[in-house]
Amino acid sequence: MTLEVELKLAINSGQQVPTEAALLACWQPLLAQPVTKHAEKQLFNAYFETADQWFRLHDCGLRTRLKSGQYEQTIKLAGQQQGAAHIRPEYNQPCQSVMPVLADFPSEIWPQGTDVAQLQQDLQELFRTDFVRQAYILQLHDGSKVEAVLDIGTVVGGGADAPICELELELQQGSVDALFTLARAMVASLPVSLGFQSKAERGYRLAQQQPLTWLTPAVDAELKVWLRALSQNLLLQHQSSDESAPALSLLWQQFRTTLPSRQVPAALCQRAMQLDIAISGEFQLWLLDFSAWMLEE
């Protein structure tokens, strides 16, 4: 079992994919040694579910992946999303074909009373995510090691498809702070925003024809609920028109006035009060700092 700690960065709609030269220039001040570049790989991924959405209901994800002629099955268990950070336990096993074999995963991962054999029989492919991945290994000055990957491709499900165009930063060794430092540099200099959706969530929504909708949390909702709503609504505003801008500003005003009562550090509160959420770059940097604080709590 590994604990995956990663930050997702979506390449902004209508913007060109950052060139390798732009990525290297952004990373260079933070590097302790030259970047290690892996060979580009084509990844074919099939995601599985049951008719009653057993995996979705248990906040799990099940997929198989074909890379370099070998199949691998992965199950990601219920984790947490703290603002921009995604943290989930995952188990990886080799498999013989595109169909996963659930009995090959450790028995202790299943909730008590789970009929694994029946679950196996009920599996059906729900959607696919196929993309080209370019991976880089970054050794940072503080000794941390981060894998940065650029994924370009398509998610296909429910008779529809949508593009995949994103960067992911996964901590392989060292400090989570280093992961956030790297992400801040990229948000500040590249056409990227923090990604709040995993490929699996996008696939589920596509397969089940459930597009993103405007979210209005209760005033006392958890911080992670508010941050998801603000990020999602900001994306929806960018995808449509400026008509939703007043509603988004009102929602942001409502949220930030609750921050002092949530024991949020004064510096973060003060920055929020001075910040216009419509200026998405500044909001992304604030969200990164806020997410880093949430992980420390």
CATH number at residue 59: 2.40.320.10
Q: Distance from CA of residue 150 to its chain's centroid?
A: 13
Tell me if 34 is assigned to some domain. Answer: yes
Angle of CA points 52, 211, 50, to nearest 5°: 15
Residues 109, 233, single domain; the answer is no
Percent of the chain with pLDDT over 90: 75
- Among the three residues 175, 207, 239, which one is the final residue of a domain in this structure? 207
Which contiguous run of DSSP H or E holds residue 226? helix 223-239
- Which residues span the domain enclosing 290? 223-296
Residues 147, 260, single domain; the answer is no
Other residues' Cβ atoms within 10 Å of the Cβ of residue 6: 19
Tell me if 23 is assigned to some domain. Answer: yes
Tell me if 217 is assigned to some domain. Answer: no
Tell me if 167 is assigned to some domain. Answer: yes
Q: Kindly state the greatest CA–CA separation across the chain.
A: 56
Residues 159, 279, single domain; the answer is no
Tell me if 122 is assigned to some domain. Answer: yes
pLDDT, tens digit, 9 for 90 and up, residues 271-296 = 999 998 877 788 999 999 998 898 87
Across the chain, how many H-helices and E-strands are there?
A: 9, 11
Q: What contacts 241, CB < 8 A, 6 or more positions away? A: none
Q: Considering only CA atoms, which of 147, 186, 189, 188 is closest in space to residue 168?
A: 147
Q: Considering only CA atoms, which of 119, 181, 127 is closest in space to residue 154?
A: 127
Q: Considering only CA atoms, which of 196, 195, 251, 244 is closest in space to residue 218?
A: 251
The conformation of residue 1, written as its DSSP 8-state character, comes to: -
Distances (CA, A) of 109 to 74, 76, 78, 91, 103: 12, 10, 11, 9, 11
Residues 255, 176, single domain; the answer is no
What is the count of structural domains for the chain?
2
User: Which of the four pLDDT bands, split at 50, 70 and 90, describes residue 161?
Assistant: very high
Tell me if 247 is assigned to some domain. Answer: yes
pLDDT of 84? 62
pLDDT, tens digit, 9 for 90 and up, residues 44-91 = 999 999 999 999 999 899 999 998 889 999 999 876 665 566 677 889
pLDDT beyond 80 at 139: yes
pLDDT of 2? 64
Percent of the chain with pLDDT over 70: 94
Residues 38, 182, single domain; the answer is yes
Residues 153, 283, single domain; the answer is no
Average pLDDT, the chain: 91
3-state secondary structure of 59: coil
Reported pTM: 0.88
pLDDT, tens digit, 9 for 90 and up, residues 167-191 = 999 999 998 899 999 999 999 999 9
For 147, the token pair is 């894998």
Residues 40, 71, single domain; the answer is yes
pLDDT of 63? 96
Residues 114, 227, single domain; the answer is no
pLDDT, tens digit, 9 for 90 and up, residues 91-118 = 999 999 999 999 999 999 999 999 999 9
Tell me if 214 is assigned to some domain. Answer: no
Tell me if 45 is assigned to some domain. Answer: yes
Residues 149, 198, single domain; the answer is yes
Contact 64, 95 (CB under 8 A): yes
pLDDT of 3? 65
